[in-house]
Amino acid sequence: MKKENRPYLFLVIILFSLDQLSKYLIQKYIGLYGQVKVIPGFFNLTHFHNRGAIFGFFAHTHNPVAKIVLPVASLLALGFVIFYFIRTPTQEKTLKLALSLILAGALGNLVDRLGRGYVVDFLDFYYQRFHWPNFNVADSCISVGAIILFLTILIKSKGKEKKENVSGAS
Catalytic residue set: 121, 139
Contacts with 120 (C-beta within 8 Å, 6 or more apart), sequence order: 23, 26, 27, 47, 48, 49, 50, 112, 136
Quick one: 155 exposed, middle or buried, by C-beta within 10 A (0-12, 13-18, 19+)? exposed
Helix, strand counts (H, E) of the chain: 4, 4
Query: CA-CA distance, 78 to 70, in Å (whole number)?
Result: 12
Q: Which of 125, 143, 135 is nearest to 49 (CA)?
A: 135
Three-state DSSP at 137 gives: helix
The beta strand positions in 2-151, using DSSP E, are 35-39, 43-50, 119-127, 130-131
